[in-house]
Structure 1
């Protein structure tokens, strides 16, 4: 489970932004929208959180920051020596290239809190650290800092951290994270943290449309097919059954620069949906369904898999092409303790203000982004405004009480 995430100097965010899933002391919807952690300082954690804000206010950049951190952990060892990374710092200052960017995330893994972060520029890693809270006092398992005067890295380790530390240290290039190298060279202690990034964190920065391939494979199990059918039927799509038909088609591969396209014949799993009328079932291909139905089917498999395995789903603009009631249905699945038994979490950006009222979300589940006159994005929680219980949040948000809305001329 993700406890919090913070970053500085990334895209439209110049200053530190902190996003937390720690539940407040409010007991509203506590049994459904939060889970106990077993920790002393953070007793409960949220199962979902929504980020609101005007277009170009920075909502997507919060999600991109988390995705960039994930990709660095998973693939920094693929950066070639002396090759610059794809990091995009805040650019609207003359000396933007000299400012480092920081990322830090805190996970709860098997009841133990892992606080991991790193600082970097486009050329190299400047610092990296891991704090592990097996008890109340943190253990600094490793710390890596670049000494500019000596032009070398300085490492410190905790006695709790074991393994071939010197081998991992020597093998870690300046462009690469120590975490990535150590796991690649079989550090058993760091694997759970690495797996949080590589397997448990699912980030969809381009919206909910992910293609139907995963769900098409998922429904080929009878039990999974029933689960997806249940989601589709509950959403009132008119679908009574789902099947998958294998068809031959053509795949096009383009090579750059200047390469001729290669065409290959391949077999595809094509979803078909049954609609019942007059006692007969009529089958339609996925391309014949509405955009909302297609996206719901594409999401159904990943969401059910994430709920079963207790993973973290992060989606930009969850409401894109989806009716507000379908968005609500997805949020309710994560807030349903019967469906979500393994601590899965949903983080999403949205413009769907209907979620703000009617007891759909707790007040600590709502966040906003806003851009100031210097074009700097800021991230802040609804709780900063101390809203009353039962306050009309939708009306307050649209009237500008909490910020995060466009200023229309």
Structure 2
């Protein structure tokens, strides 16, 4: 996501107002054949995020996936490193692990010319730079506490994770970037809390969120006037079997009747229903997302989300992402962003994201620090004239040993080429190649 010197689409680049600020791209798309390693890249990021945020239980193995196409891989540790910007500072955080332990861990502040250590771990040996501003000039007692907590960190746990558990607040921004800023979505990901998100924003937190959601949805010309949230008494909701209702009533947490409690009921096709309690009551309400359309007489007709096409459900799932991107300070990484979407809808997602920021720049004279990174097979997005910069287009392919190699169009001379035709013809690699089938290998089709 580091920008090349290319001056095309300057609004796609974000740079803070300090001499160490690195020019960062706001979006990138990643192409590659099936089984080229695109999804593995995203899965590796997700694994590392979960390991940082949630850690692992005592005496449990770390569920790191090994590279099976190399015999010695089982004896080698795995290395992960993230470089990211948060609150006007840039950091490099990483670690080296195998299924049983953390070998190394490090945190540096970085910049164009800067590389300042904050802490390093080698086994159970820790080195802290207490002069760094992250420590806020702490005195001897707090330094001793940090050293003590580091030494007591389990060998299968990251010190950053342990810092959160032990309430060491100096690394709060680093931990929060992984827990709150970085969002990773897969093709099957569903926003289970969407009804609650819309309802709460409509009622109190941010009434504009619900309106923006519906305005975006209507602008996509799907024949939808708006979405709404119906709240129905659980006992009156006919689409849940009686035995399931009884199970929910038995299992529902009534221990605190002054607050909302949420129960998510998985349904077919990956959708869900949310059931919540009502404060000061034992009533249970089903929160049901409904889609409202107009018939030929302009009368409103309600549809369940499951009655819509996969593409409509997918775009409804992605709209909260677009709104959060427009608000800034978030990084979305999506595997197969075009899943179930028409090519023009997939393109519209990127156009909306980039244009949101332009509108906000007019209002605030500042670009939001949000990023959208996605894998795709959609070749019609290969547009370096109107949509992307060259350094925003990446390819992944496997070498002869099964290792995935990533490379971009940065610093190439492709301005006058038909990128779609060139990619399909294999000019940039990262496409499937099919060997000819011999006569004795041809499949027999039964009738």
* Common fold by TM > 0.5: yes
**In the alignment, is the contact (CA less than 8 A) between 1:225 and 1:242 conserved in 2?**
no
Which residue of structure 2 lines up, in the alignment, with residue 14 of structure 1? none
Cross-structure match for 2:364 = none
1:154 counterpart (102, 118, 125): 125
Question: Does the 8 Å contact 2:195/2:287 carry over to 1?
Answer: no
Which of the numbers 212, 228, 248 marks the counterpart of 1:264? Answer: 248
Q: Name 1:37's counterpart in structure 2.
A: 16
Shift of 1:48: 0.8
Instruction: Report the 3-state secondary structure (helix = DSSP H, G, I; strand = E; otherwise coil) of the residue aligned with 2:395.
Output: strand
2: distance between equivalents of 1:261 and 1:285? 20
| Residue of structure 2 in register with 1:16 after alignment | none
Q: Does 1:302 align with 2:321?
A: yes
TM-score computed with the length of structure 2 as normaliser: 0.77
Counterpart of 2:376 in structure 1 is 350
- Of 31, 46, 53, which residue of structure 2 is paired with 1:74? 53
For residues 109-156 of structure 1, give each alpha carbon's deviation from its aligned partner in whole angstroms, at most 9, with x where no partner exists. 22111111101111100000111148943221111112xxxxxx2211
Q: Distance in 2 between matches of 1:24 and 1:167?
A: 43
Write 1 or 2 for the structure with the bigger share of helix: 2
Instruction: Indicate the structure whose relative CO is greater, using CA pairs within 8 Å and at least 6 residues apart.
Output: 1
Cα deviations by residue, 1:181-212 (Å, 9 ceiling, x for unpaired): 122222222000100000001111x3164145
1:110 to 55, 73, 87: 87
Q: Are residues 1:403 and 2:429 paired?
A: yes
Kept after mapping to 1: 8 A contact 2:21/2:112: no
Alignment partner of 2:291 out of 262, 273, 288: 273
Match of 2:108 in 1: 131
How far the C-alpha of 1:321 sits from its partner, in A, is 0.4
Q: Aligned pairs, how many?
A: 371
Tell me by how many angstroms 1:104 deviates: 0.6
> Which residue does 1:178 correspond to in 2?
159
For 1:6, the equivalent position in structure 2 comes to none
Q: Is the 8 A contact 1:183 1:194 kept in 2?
A: yes
Q: RMSD over aligned Cα, in angstroms?
A: 2.4
* Structure label with greater radius of gyration: 2
Task: Quote the residue 1:322 is aligned against.
Answer: 341
The Cα shift of 1:293 comes to 0.9
Distance 2:302 2:240 in 1: 25
Match of 2:420 in 1: 394
Q: CA 1:85/1:157 → structure 2, altered by over 3 Å: closer, same or farther?
A: same
3-state SS of the aligned residue for 2:317? helix
Q: Which moved more, 1:260-269 or 1:279-288?
A: 260-269
Unaligned runs of 5+ in 1: 1-20, 147-152, 253-259
Bigger Cα displacement from structure 2, 287-296 vs 195-204: 287-296
Whether 2:226 is the aligned partner of 1:207: answer: no
Alpha-carbon distance in structure 2 between the residues aligned to 1:136 and 1:389 = 32
SS in 2 for 1:335: helix
Question: Are 1:243 and 2:243 matched, yes or no?
Answer: no
Q: Any idea what the Cα deviations from partners look like across 1:314-355, whole Å, max 9, x if unmatched? A: 110000001111111211222122466521111110001111
Name 1:379's counterpart in structure 2.
Answer: 406
Residues 1:313 and 2:313 aligned together? no
